[in-house]
Structures are given as structure tokens and as C-alpha cells.
Amino acid sequence: MRVDPVAAPSDSAPGGTLPLLDEHLARDLAAIVGERRVLARPGELRAYESDGLAGYQRRPALAVFPGTRDETVAVVRLLAERGIRYVPRGAGTGLSGGALADDVVLLGLHRLTRIVSIDAENARAVVEPGVVNAALSRAAAPFGLLYAPDPSSQTACTIGGNVAENAGGPHCLKYGVTLNHVLAVTALLPRGEIVTLGNAAGESDGYDLLGAFVGSEGCFGVALDVTVKLERIPQSIVTLLADFSSVHAAAEAVSAIIASGIVPAALEMMDAATIEAVEASIYAGGYPTDAAAILLIELDGAAAGLDEDAARVARYCTEAGARTVRSATDSAERARLWQGRKKAFGAMGRLAPHLMVQDAVVPRTRLPEILTEIARIGERHDIRIRNVFHAGDGNLHPNIAYDGSDPVQARRVHAAMSEVMSACIAAGGTITGEHGIGLDKLPYMDRLFTPDTLAAMCALRDVFDPDRRANPGKVVPVHSCREWHAAPSARGRSA
């Protein structure tokens, strides 16, 4: 790790408490970024009360939006000098309440949109944190390259946010999550230091601080730029759609495909309730509406041998009970099939004012029994749970459309999701695969980790942010890190 030395800003107030925002802060921030880039009126701040998981609302004290690297550094150093807490935010597409600022400063990074460089020869790029995920692949396409991590929100989410959450996506089964594609980060730590984590060559000495930073959910600082690996656009792609008369049969097909040694680029499952919502929306993918479940399977790579692998995958599906297996005939049909999958959350979002989206991981071999248990939990609480998820790596996404203004309904939803998470933990799984902990999963951390493990997480956080001013009250329960007076962001749950 290389550190660019700066004058050390003042520490937080004695006793660990932090001063309230002073009346001159908005003025001083405006002097850095311009008056139009500082929001302080309640009406202006309402747009930033929630992220993609709209069941949680927290209003910032004010919001500031730097447009350059130098402005970002100046803003963070000003906040450090005054001991003021802040929450970094990208596009706000996160699904764990992780980018919500509860009466503290919201630091918006979406204006930092420069693709600094694309090195086609070495297949890498340097980008600012506000670069939209899909925009990077579009910029790399003329060089025969793409950026592999592809969250469902890739047309809106930013690389900085992907780094903060260690985002995945359907194609992470073969290509890996964000961490596997980040070579280096120039990070701005909460006290204002600028450090370099990793290096463009992909080799590093000493502790893996880059690995700690990726997925730290903004608690360790913000990325000023990110150096990422690019992949060659595959020579050939085969996309299959298999439909089943039972979810159990689809899950058995997943196990058979993975056990065969074939590693698809993507292996996604949707159940009947999700298919119904998607096909009734503008995002219809042409899925059979009478199916209990479908698998969307993609294989890519060299053309030689790919058709044979696709035929084997189709056979495994048929042997597991698939009614039909068909292949996309051209790029337009492939795009339509993927549109239905990637816009499934949007399709479900039109069903009710709120959508609870969960994110847990279980061993693939336990998928059939876990999906059966999730159905039982939904019946027990009289709610409909819709499943669309990365079946190839066991990353579940149970969804419930509901009205959060109805406290009885909200309580049933949260009770059901708590049982789902407990079932996944009991099956040997974990509580997040790509959405992060944020606010939503704080209550489950004690179930998964021992007090000593949580304390170790807090100690690591202290290395990057000893004052605990960056994204306070997130990821680790407040009592484990003994944050000041139970940080506002960690108090209570809303629905």
C-alpha cells in the first residue's frame, strides 16, 4: 500500500462523540463544489432517502456532489477536519440500505464519470467511481473487450458502488465477482489520506488490503479510481431456455450440470410467480407462463466444442424433467431472454409499493430443500414469495411485493424473511452473496458470526477509519463495534 502523505486532520471530539453539522458547512462545501451541488432543503433530500430497497428511509442532513477527483478529496478532508460523519453513495441501486445517510452528510460520487484509460493490449481499464457498469463494456467493445461483472442493474449502477458491494451478476458463475476483476484502487480514506491498494499488474506484496477494501460497503473510504481487468468478447455464445413442471426438477438439473464439470457462463432460475410478473410487464422475455420454473443457461468461449457442451447441458435438463429446451436463434432473441431475467426486479416492483429483495447463499446441493422451505415460509405467513436467482452458485433472491404502509403486512414480511435467512444459515449458507449487509442484514450478523469474529471486523475497520465516520452504523451491529450512542443509521427498522 502506497500512502500519499497529507497533513493529519483533527480527530473527532473527545469521548468518541462527533459534533453536529455546523451552520457554515453547506457554505464551505459549496465553495468547493458549487452551490448547485450542495442540497440542504428537505424536499431536495427526499430523493436520497432510500436506495433500491425502498422499504428503508433515512434522510441525510445534507448532500454534496463533487464532480472531480480534487473536489472529492477537498470535501472528504473538510469533513475530516470537522469530525463529521458521511455516507458514500453511487447510483443508489443497492439493495441492502447500505447507502442511506441518517441525518449525516451524503457524499454522492455519480458525477465522477471519466473512463481514464483503456489499455487494450493488456486488457485493463482505469475508471472513476461514477462510471456506469454497462458504459464501460460499451467503451471497451471496439477493442474486442468487455467488463464481465454484470449486476441486473448494470445499466444504472456504478463501478464505485460495485466495488463497495463486491457486486456479482448472472455471469459471475464463470467469471467471478467484482473482486476478481479489480487490480488496484486509489482510495481516499476517511481522514483524507490517499492510498494505493493493489497494482495494475495484479501482483501485490504483503497483506491483501485491496481484498479488504472491495466489499467494505463504504466503511473504509471511497475509491477515486479503479483499475479493472477486461475480458475478451467470447468467440461464440449459446443461450438455452429450459422449462420445468416443478422447481425441484429445475434444481436437480442445476446440480447435474455443475456435477458434469461444465461451467456455464450463467445459470439462472425463475419460478412461476416471477415468470408471471415478468411476462405481464414490458420486460416480457417470452417465457412459458405455464411452467413451474425455468432455467436460463448460457455457455460461451471458443466455437469449437461449444455446441457439444450445449447438447450435453440440454440432455441433463431433459433427464431432470425439463419439458422443453430451446436455444436462442440469434442475438435479438438472446437479448430478449436476458431482458426478462435482468428486469425481473423491475417487473415485480410494479406489483406493490414496496419490494423486499433478499440475498442469501446456500450450497447448490441444498437448493431443492431450501426452495421447498421458502415456499412453506410464504404459506405460513400468508405472503407470496417470488424466486429469481443465480442458481449456478446457490445465490438466492427471494422477493416479496408488499405495502410497507400497512404495519401488519410489513411485520409479516420481515418475519418471513427472518425465517428464510435462518433456514439458509442452518443449511450451511450465508446471508449475502452480492447485495451486502448494509442496514437490512444487521440483525442476522449475530446469528452467523461469533462475538470474537465481529470484534475482528471492527478492528479491521479501525485500520481504515479509526474515527468510525464513514458509513456509520452499517455492516457490523453497533453493540459489537461500540459506535457512538448507537449511530442513528443503526437504530430501528422501517418498512
The enclosing domain of 376 has a CATH number of: 3.30.70.2740
Whether residue 246 lies inside any domain: the answer is yes
In this structure, the answer to whether residues 360 and 272 fall within a common structural domain is no
Which residue has cell 464501460?
Answer: 136
We report the CATH number of the domain holding residue 11 as 3.30.43.10
Whether residue 380 lies inside any domain: the answer is yes
Whether residue 441 lies inside any domain: the answer is no
Whether residue 469 lies inside any domain: the answer is no
We report the CATH number of the domain holding residue 204 as 3.30.465.10
Which residue has cell 452458485?
Answer: 393
Looking at residue 204, its pLDDT comes to 73
Looking at residue 20, its pLDDT comes to 55
In this structure, the answer to whether residues 309 and 383 fall within a common structural domain is no
In this structure, the answer to whether residues 119 and 223 fall within a common structural domain is yes
Question: What are the backbone angles phi and psi of residue 133, rounded to the nearest 5°?
Answer: -50, -55
Looking at residue 481, its pLDDT comes to 76
* Domain region containing 143: 115-232
Looking at residue 488, its pLDDT comes to 46
Q: How many domains does the chain have?
A: 4
Alpha carbon distance 180, 382 (integer Å): 40
Alpha carbon distance 175, 148 (integer Å): 7
Whether residue 326 lies inside any domain: the answer is yes
Which residue has cell 445499466?
Answer: 155
Of 435, 415, 406, give the one whose Cα is nearest residue 345. Answer: 435
- For residues 438 and 169, the answer to whether their CB atoms sit within 8 Å is no
Residues of the chain with pLDDT under 50: 1-19, 484-495
Domain end marker among 316, 346, 376: 346
Q: How far is CA 73 from the centre of its chain?
A: 25
Domain end marker among 232, 256, 275: 232
In this structure, the answer to whether residues 125 and 219 fall within a common structural domain is yes
234 conformational bin, left if phi > 0, alpha if psi -120 to 50, beta if neither: beta
Whether residue 492 lies inside any domain: the answer is no
Looking at residue 479, its pLDDT comes to 72
In this structure, the answer to whether residues 300 and 390 fall within a common structural domain is no
Alpha carbon distance 45, 57 (integer Å): 11
Rg of the chain's alpha carbons, rounded to an integer? 23
In this structure, the answer to whether residues 357 and 418 fall within a common structural domain is yes
In this structure, the answer to whether residues 47 and 80 fall within a common structural domain is yes
Put the strands of the sheet holding 2-4 in their side by side order: 2-4, 194-198, 182-188, 222-229, 124-127, 115-119
Domain end marker among 426, 449, 467: 426
pTM, whole model, 2 decimals?
0.91
